[in-house]
Amino acid sequence: MRQKIVAGNWKMNKTLEEGNILASEISGMVNDEVRNDAKIIFCVPSPYLLPIKNVLGNNSRIVVGAQNCSEHESGAYTGEISAPMLKSMNILYVILGHSERRQYFGEDNKLLAKKTDVVLKHGLTPIFCCGEPLEIRETNGHEKLVTTQVEEGLFHLDEATIQKVVIAYEPVWAIGTGKTASAQQAQDMHKVIRNHIAGKYGQAVADKIPILYGGSVNAGNAKELFACPDVDGGLVGGASLKSREFTDVIKGA
């Protein structure tokens, strides 16, 4: 059985004070109410990595993750944050290739393959995002596009290394739109991704890799989505910004 993972993506939201309150509220609710053993990750804005880690203190249920990192290890790259920097702060998860990074910052599969390598080299876990825009879904090109994203981003890894990756399938048309993929659509696509991995690395390897669903997950739909056999939890944007809602999402895992 793969452990469920629920990762919140705060994106570029909250002041530090608001973030502290949010983290502290969720931490308390998780301790009081969550009975499952899901791994919980808060992917917060870079300046908040250590402050939020501090707020969580010794709550071992929740870890802090980053939303992006550079493909370079150090050097003259103003404004960037590197994998060794994250490691030095004991930040062990990082989202890579979120559709907003692909869309607004021109990140492509080739760059993401490099980012994946540097993250893994430093012992971090990438949460590697893939997913199709609406026009591709409407013309039935989603399976091809998503398997190509996974292939070009990850299939250069050897068998032992790919097992250190978390994949997040996030159909772009469902991100921040309130339009969730149905549980069947999510399951079908997760199965396609897992089969594709099995085709290259074998079923035993494919069965070990967590595949999260992302796209308007909320307290009302989390349980049904997370119950799908190939859905191993969620990457959650909007609903991760509200303590009650996010705790209820976690309870669905």
98 catalytic? Reply is yes
Q: Indicate whether 215 belongs to the interface with ligand PEP (CB under 6 A).
A: yes
Q: Which of 100, 107, 170, 245 is catalytic?
A: 170
Instruction: Return the residue of 4, 5, 6, 9 that touches ligand PEP, per CB under 6 A.
Output: 9
Phi first, then psi: give them for residue 66, nearest 5 degrees.
-100, 170
Q: Indicate whether 216 belongs to the interface with ligand PEP (CB under 6 A).
A: yes
> Which spans in the chain are helix H?
16-33, 49-56, 83-88, 99-104, 109-121, 134-138, 142-154, 159-162, 183-201, 203-206, 222-226, 243-251
Name residue 134's amino acid: L
Q: Which of residues 150-179 bind ligand PEP (CB under 6 A)?
A: 170, 175-176
Q: Indicate whether 238 belongs to the interface with ligand PEP (CB under 6 A).
A: yes
What is the separation of C-alpha 100 from the centre of its chain, rounded to a whole number of angstroms?
13
Q: Indicate whether 236 belongs to the interface with ligand PEP (CB under 6 A).
A: yes
End-to-end CA, the chain: 13
How far, in Å, CA of 196 to CA of 180, rounded?
24
170 catalytic? Reply is yes
Q: Indicate whether 97 belongs to the interface with ligand PEP (CB under 6 A).
A: no
Q: Which of residues 101-120 bind ligand PEP (CB under 6 A)?
A: none
Catalytic residues: 98, 170
Given the rule CB under 6 A, which residues bind ligand PEP? 9, 11, 98, 170, 175-176, 214-217, 235-239
